[in-house]
Amino acid sequence: MTDEYFDLPKPRANYGFSPFRIQRHFNWIIVIFILAYGIVAGKLVLYGSGFFKSKEKTKVQLLKPTKARPLITDRNGEVLATDIKKYSVYVETDKLIEKDRAARLLAQALPQYTNQMKLLVEFESGRNFFWVARNISEEERERVFRLGLPGVVLEKENRRFYPNGTLAAHVLGSTDVDNRGISGFEKYIDQTGISDLEKIGLPVTQDELKPFELSIDIRIQHALRDELVKGINKYKALAGSGIVYDVTTGEIIALASYPDFDANLSTDAQKPENINRAMVGVYEMGSTFKALNTALALESGKMNINTAFDTKEGEMTIGKHTIHEYHGTGKRLTIPEIFLHSSNLGSAKMALTVGSKAQQDFLRKMGILDRVQTELPETQAPLYPKYWSDISTVTISYGHGISVSALACVKAVGALVNGGRLIEPTFLKRTPDEANKNAPVVIKPETSEALRYVMRLNAEQGTAKAALVPGYFIGGKTGTAEKAIRGFYQKDKMLTTFMAITPADRPRYLYFVILDEPKGIPETHNLATSSWNAGAVTGKLIERTAPMLMPPIFAQPEDPFPTMIKWNAWGIKKS
């Protein structure tokens, strides 16, 4: 019998191991994975480009609740900024029943946000979701709610609220419609990690976030703004700004700039006339710069407190330029007398004795030639000559030819009077120990005492008398600078500045006020120099706020300037 009568299976060629077969299977697996990942990646690209419209994804993105923000308080715990709940309106187009009717009724309910034609265009655009209005009032929410329109939804969101309106608006800044910081301290908050929580989808409430405690004292802030506005109105100035500064900690106790804005109206913060003049504006500070020039002279080692310069001629010529005294004395003046009489010639000769390079180095060491860094992003770099000639050295000695911000000047003068430490200003509450950790010593203690001495002398016998307040042993310096317009100084347009320290023997607080183009009035004998306006404003501010900061001491301090020779305006005499 042969095999052809039986239907037996043919034996396979090879039942054993085949590396070639396994390799072919592995190659197919790789191809399948590549195709799968390619499809997924392709869809992601198409979704991202909008090729596919995903209503659910769009709603998730646009309806993600506006993030919570931490509470902001002043140094005493008073609330400066907080979150409140507001309603916004959006439309799910595919759920609308009568589009024409919905557009008409919604436009009537929210006339300041939209109109019927605009809504109809949105309804027919193919989009399944869009915002109609954000952060509406309670009355507007009630009107929309009563419509009862399918597809029209009210969404509760976080909204920033500033209970004090204009107070400290330049410090606090503002937020946008999605509750993100766009200026001031609010913008700083978003750089501290709050935004990272939102990015990873971690839900937080305001109660879960640590409050920010500012250095601002809302009582002092209110008084500063109030006196500044009164002064601007009284002396018919264009604008003004002011700072109250703790020279021992670098804390900004109050900062105001006027015109200002209501922090609840973020659009007003962007108007050019509402800039922060204390930090963004840079100005020629006039004779207040003579405090820096005096410190430069004494620190150089080439002069001491008794060094004198001849100012009898009343003018001096540098190249093609002639320098004049504002009120010449016609005599030889010591360094304290130069400060007291605000002598331009004396200041110029002091600076020339030291030299241009030493002047530049000193101003750089004092932070004058750099942008001031604080928590607030709004700041401006100084303007000064690229080529520092002798005439630059002369004019800068009395505050012309260089423009700096008020805060830069405050920072530098703070170091001149606090014993010599250059402390970085801050809007956050901190202690003297924290402030001194990274505060270099920039002048000798003896130089600092000399500055306190001449500032006190100027308040007793010179142009700073307007700021004297019983019980507070004040020192001060005036500054009046003609404004440069299109390269020419205008004698009838002045910027007046005034700075005061208290108590002068051991300063704690520095007051700084600037008025832009104040006018002379009958009460000032039609004079518009600093002592008549910025000085008067500062005096009223100190009188009003100093009792909130420290108790008065009516007894004169014993030997307040121990290393200084007893001196008066008419000559030098030893004790």
Residues annotated as part of the active site: 287
CA distance 208 to 70: 8
Q: Are 563 and 449 in contact, with CB atoms under 8 Å apart?
A: yes
> How far, in Å, CA of 504 to CA of 527, rounded?
28
**Number of helices (H) and strands (E), helices first, in the chain?**
19, 18
Determine the Cα–Cα distance for residues 357 and 289; give it in Å rounded to an integer.
17
- The CA distances from residue 180 to 118, 159, 188, 191, 354, in Å, are 27, 10, 11, 11, 50
Q: Which residues pair with 72 in a beta bridge?
A: 81, 212
516 and 443 in contact (C-beta within 8 Å)?
Answer: no
Minimal CA–CA distance to 65: which of 43, 30, 90, 34? 90
**Pair 350, 297: CB distance under 8 Å:** yes
What's the rounded Cα separation, in Å, for the pair 107 and 200? 37
Distance, in Å, from the CA atom of 397 to the CA atom of 544, rounded to the nearest integer, reads 33
Helix (H, G, I), strand (E, B) or coil at 175: strand
